[in-house]
Structure 1
Amino acid sequence: DFRFSFWEDIRPKGRNLCFDVAQNQPKASITLFACHGMKGNQHFKYQSKNKQLIHVLTSLCLDCDSSTGEELKLST
């Protein structure tokens, strides 16, 4: 289970790790890194209109293909 926190980051429930983007480009992998609460590479917004999670620095959305087991990444 994951949660979208007050700091606008995404965390596995009960852990102090956050989705983190090391490269600000399409197809960048999403990793778990210690939460720092300073937004930046861990800053996401939820767009309810199209039900997407957007990485604020890049304006790219989170994406994966669950049918192929593809890892979570940024996508246009």
Structure 2
Amino acid sequence: MLIPSDIRIAGAYVLCKGLFVLQVGPNKEGDKFGMVRLGGHREGNETALDTAKCEVYEEDQVEITPFNPNTTYYLSE
């Protein structure tokens, strides 16, 4: 799978014991809560996979093992 090198953020949907691990936090306005996937911004020369692994570990102390998904989405601006 070819992943563009200009990816700025990356994350993962983590499945553990049949359940998804998500973060709960406020929206930008601070008036509602929502659930989001684990992830964050790329640093230095990290690949998208390196970024996802590092961010998931930093946020939840979980080491992830990626698999090839059926579908991958990219958002281009």
TM tier, shorter chain? under 0.3
Q: Which has the higher helix share?
A: 2
TM normalised by structure 2 equals: 0.27
Relative to the length of structure 1, the TM-score reads 0.27
